[in-house]
């Protein structure tokens, strides 16, 4: 089992909320970032958001340090063969209710089919037409600083449960957004 690097960044899953041009309702996206705190990944969150930066906020976040049956860490070496860490977004409906319900999950699994089957059993129980909207291996989408070479590792731990989720309204500070804009402004 790899020994975590004391300088290893922490892996975060973040549900962003905000606006985009011509939208009528608040939009959401789930992104992944790595750093030492939620506050220190704001630039990564702004980089990943597809809409307007004004008003961007965090609606939920979790440090992905564990999922059922496994501890999660970021390491310098690629992982050996074995389970991988996946994110899934499941959709479903409630009779007479306008719109689609969504549930998100983080799973360790041997492949997409296994994760999809588990999520469909466990998420949105009792809803109609439960289906997969999104499913991917987190290692394929998380970006630490380019060239850093961090990889998601799973270590078996029968005592590991769900990651702790924090819900609420956490706006990205206006000063952070302005500094981010200045740093990314094309130079003449």
Residue pLDDT tens, the chain, 188 long: 444 455 789 999 999 999 999 999 999 999 999 999 999 999 999 999 999 999 999 999 999 999 999 999 999 888 888 999 999 999 999 999 999 999 999 999 999 999 999 999 999 988 999 899 889 988 887 765 544 678 899 999 999 999 999 999 999 999 999 999 999 866 54
Give pLDDT tens digits for 41-88: 999 999 999 999 999 999 999 999 999 999 999 998 888 889 999 999
Domains annotated for the chain, with CATH where assigned, are 9-64+163-188 (3.10.20.10), 66-162 (3.10.20)
Cβ contacts of 102-108, under 8 Å, gap ≥ 24: 102/133, 104/15, 104/30, 106/13, 106/62, 106/64, 106/67, 106/138, 106/162, 106/163, 107/67, 107/68, 108/67, 108/68, 108/69, 108/70, 108/83, 108/84, 108/154
* CA dihedral for 35, 36, 40, 41, sign (positive or negative): positive
């Amino acid at each position: 089992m790899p020994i975590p690097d004391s300088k290893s960044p922490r892996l975060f899953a973040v549900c962003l909320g905000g606006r985009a041009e011509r939208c009528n309702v608040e939009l959401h996206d789930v992104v992944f970032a790595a750093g030492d705190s939620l506050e220190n990944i704001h630039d990564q969150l702004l980089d990943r958001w597809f809409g307007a930066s004004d008003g961007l906020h965090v609606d939920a976040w979790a440090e992905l340090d564990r999922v059922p049956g496994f501890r999660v860490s970021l390491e310098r070496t690629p992982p050996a063969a074995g389970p991988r860490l996946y994110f899934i977004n499941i959709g479903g409906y409630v009779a007479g209710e306008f719109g689609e319900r969504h549930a998100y999950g983080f799973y360790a699994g041997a492949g997409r089919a296994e994760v999809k089957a588990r999520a469909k059993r466990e998420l949105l129980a009792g809803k109609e037409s439960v289906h997969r909207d999104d499913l991917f291996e987190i290692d394929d989408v998380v970006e630490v600083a380019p060239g850093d070479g961090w990889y998601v590792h799973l270590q078996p731990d029968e005592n590991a449960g769900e990651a702790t989720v924090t819900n609420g309204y956490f706006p990205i500070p206006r000063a952070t957004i302005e500094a981010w804009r200045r740093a990314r402004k094309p130079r003449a």
